[in-house]
Amino acid sequence: MDHLDVSTAAAEQHRGLPSFEEFYAAELPRLVVLARGLCPPGVAEDIAQEAMLAAYRKWDHVARLERPDLWARRACANLAVSSFRRKMVELRVVGRLANRRDLPPVSEDTEEFWRAVRALPKRQAQAAALRFVYDLPIADIAAVLSCSEGTVKQHLSRARRALSDTLGIAEGSAESAADGGDE
């Protein structure tokens, strides 16, 4: 613990608040167990850490609660559910992609596709994800991204080219996959 942490902990105890360090040491193992019950083991530790980070950011408020441990457990459970929901959205997208005849069959390598999307420049990745996940029309993507429809078309076109190159899909196939056809 450095000088700043010691003085912060001392100030919290002076105000009658428990120190975050003590709370963290006592509660983190419990949060990991809770998270393991709600999500896969590889994700559980990250979820527990995120819950503790949320508690740390709001420690002035959380420390004053009658049961700060319950606040942290609720945060952990909410984060685990959010993680599950994100995974379900991804599985729905994979299902949509699997049903398209113009794409190679979807296998356990779907992470390769999302890795390729994440490797795109930010706006291209956002436009492509909105198209793939929600099947949004150009106008709706433009509204979500606060840009013009022409800019969205440009992002989708560049994303199609990059994904075609990265994934080895014929560009015409990637175009219909990323763009859902012409609008």
Check which CATH number belongs to the domain holding 63 and give it: 1.10.1740
* Dihedral class, residue 135 (left if φ above 0, else alpha if ψ from -120 to 50, else beta): left
pLDDT tens, 121-168? 988 888 888 887 667 789 888 887 888 999 999 999 999 898 888 877
Percent pLDDT > 70 in the chain is 67
Report which DSSP code applies to 104.
Answer: P
pLDDT tens, 94-126? 666 555 555 444 454 577 777 888 888 988 888
Cα-to-chain-centroid distance, residue 64: 30
Contact 126, 180 (CB under 8 A): no
Instruction: Kindly state the average pLDDT of the residues 58-77.
Output: 93
Determine the structural domain holding residue 21 and report its residue range.
3-84
Percent pLDDT > 90 in the chain is 31
Burial degree of 41 (CB within 10 A; 0-12, 13-18, 19+): exposed
Q: Is residue 161 part of a domain?
A: yes
Instruction: Report how many domains make up the chain.
Output: 2
Q: Is residue 114 part of a domain?
A: yes
Longest pairwise C-alpha distance within the chain = 67
Contact 154, 165 (CB under 8 A): no
Q: Residue 29 and residue 6: Cα distance in Å, rounded?
A: 23
Identify the pLDDT of residue 98: 57
